Amino acid sequence: MSSVLADVLMVIALVGALALVHRPFGDYMAAVFQSGKHLRVERWIYRSVGADPDAEMRWPAYLRGMLVFSAVSVLFLYLLMRVQDKLPLSLGFKPISPDQAFNTAASFVSNTNWQSYSGEVAMSHVTQTAGLAVQNFVSAAVGIAVAVALVRGFARSRTGDLGNFWADLVRCIVRILIPISVVAAVLLIAAGAIQNFGDIHTITTLTGDKQAISPGAVASQEAIKDLGTNGGGFFNANSAHPFENPNGFTNLLEIFLLLVIPFSLPRTFGKMVGNVKQGYAIVAAMGIIWFAGVIAVTWLEYAHPGTASQLAGGAMEGKEQRFGEGPSSVFAVSTTMTSTGSVNSFHDSFSGLSGGVLLLGMMLGEIAPGGTGSGLYGMLIMAIIAVFLAGLMVGRTPEYLGKKIGTREIKLAACYILVTPALVLIGAGVAMALPEGKDAMTNIGAHGFSEVLYAFTSASNNNGSAFAGFGANTDFFNTTLGLCMVLGRFLPMVFVLALAGSLAEQKSVPETAGTIRTEKPLFTGLLVGAIMIITGLTFFPALALGPLAEGLAS
């Protein structure tokens, strides 16, 4: 079987699996967040934190709960890394430096999982499991909770109540993330991923050198790393490491885990607002953009533009032989179009134009399909913008799902859209103007600029992937990227929850002959066009200086 045919069959199998679970899984998540019952373990958790899960919250209270919980999480994870040498199972590792501990704590709590360290030589077993892996669960659940609050804003009328943050958080972890992660971890172990708490092994290589091999609870962390669109790898090589991603089956499983919640949440949205066709329109827009990215990157990597790649007969630099161009390209597109950051190849080695597509996937706001929760609420923000544009065309007040999109709503949506570009472009500009930024580049010219642009795009969009070789472990980048992660995560959530509260307070208006049909293919096309135009106008100059210039010169 040719490699191209095998890659096509892999994509068909992936899309088929996602389509198969879309309806039952989406319906299940809707039932979880609409349930009036609490499991026994959930009631125990509520009592331990002093929360009343049946108390409805307006958006300021929902926001305070989310921010307080996240702030405590940052502090706990920071302290854990600073004292890891004094805890059991430390493996002899030193405490993490203050700037790197802040960067890592901000990274994992914000669901970014950017890593300026090598996990196998820096993080103890306790830090990896009780710290980083726990945040993989709770940060993903925070994103889903905020998305559910926005959906309730559309579904409810004449009330500012958006549900209960603590109930949404706990239910998401207990009923969705943990069960699926357990099954995925078992599958990964059966396929060859490791899972233990052993000591470091020293082996003799074929050349006679000594090499330290770190064991750990890899499979369990790998499962939630992908399912929660987190991305922080146990090893520095991430999912290119055979202990994390042993073979083609695990590679396909990990891509499926990256996409399954983001592609299923639109069904949850449709069920909760009482119109599943609205969910189909959203998931169709997500799928169109994702599939276009897969085709573009796969074709570019098979075409292997550039003198060196053409002489070598393929663009295999930075890719694993056990995966090849196709699976590496699908993984790369999936990880940059979700807020994951998990990689099975190094994006620094992709061709210039491929790197541009991967950058664009993040610059879209990671909405195709996006992260757990963040992809859905990002897409709904863009749907509001699309409805507003359509309303301008026909000369009537825009409406979406029976809610009028007025001045307040469009201002909140605009503020949401402006946060990430401001962080990316200002951060990259400052870094390029200072010696600290230039010193971190391992390349010069357009590719070097792409490294810096990619770093701030990844941090501000809460992605976490990086161009390999970028020297990010400095005081400057640990601090600035950490701030971008925090602001890029929580500022947009402020606007999302404020928007949800505004929508929930409105009275639903009935459809008329002039109401824009947002469940139709025409609206899906308008939504995709609005996304590409707004993103293109914002980021095209920066892309032209980096990956486009490099690609056209190769």
Other CB atoms within 10 Å distance of the CB of residue 366: 26
pTM: 0.94
Local structure of residue 201 (DSSP, 8 states): E
- Nearest Cα to Cα of residue 262 among 491, 26, 457, 462: 26
Take residue 548 and report the two structure tokens written for it: 């486009």
Take residue 187 and report the two structure tokens written for it: 């599958």
Per-residue pLDDT of the chain (554 residues; tens, 9 = 90+): 567 888 899 999 999 999 999 999 999 999 999 998 999 999 999 999 999 999 999 999 999 999 999 999 999 999 999 999 999 988 888 999 999 999 999 999 999 998 888 888 889 999 999 999 999 999 999 999 999 999 999 999 999 899 999 999 999 999 999 999 999 999 999 999 999 888 888 888 778 887 778 888 999 999 999 999 998 889 888 999 999 999 999 999 999 999 999 999 999 999 999 999 999 999 999 999 999 999 999 998 888 765 555 555 556 777 888 888 889 999 999 999 998 889 998 888 888 888 899 999 999 888 999 999 999 999 999 999 999 998 888 777 788 999 999 999 999 999 999 999 999 999 999 988 888 877 777 777 788 888 889 999 999 999 988 886 677 788 898 999 999 999 999 999 999 999 999 999 998 888 777 778 899 999 999 999 999 998 878 899 888 888 888 877 76
Cis bond upstream, residue 305 (ω within 30): no
Take residue 442 and report the two structure tokens written for it: 């391992």
Judged on CB neighbours under 10 Å (0-12, 13-18, 19+), 183 is exposed
* Domain around 354: 3-553
Count of the separate structural domains present in the chain: 1
Local structure of residue 204 (DSSP, 8 states): E
